[in-house]
Structure 1
């Protein structure tokens, strides 16, 4: 069941869509990243999730984009 105001739109035929995010927790700046690649009908092609150590929020987001593009 989808929450109000939250939705996901499929990409055009023969395209994939990447949804990703990075997060940093607490004063220690411990970071994790994750993402999912889906096809034009919403089926998962690949997903990833991993800890990347200690860094800033900006660096975590950049690592997420970097990993998503490598997997694409």
Structure 2
């Protein structure tokens, strides 16, 4: 999940690139529904098994970046 978040994250200088990255992910998931199923199962498993704050901190989601 951290690698996915790192790939989606963009610099402050290129905020429009964030939308492109998300759209690319959406396109891939539409082309390969099994990837979406796997990603959803994986994220749900993480949410169930880990404390939320630790999960967000470890993946960098709550980072100022």
More strand by share: 1
More helix by share: 2
Larger Rg: 1
Q: Which has the higher contact order (CA 8 A, sep 6+)?
A: 2
TM-score by length of 2: 0.29
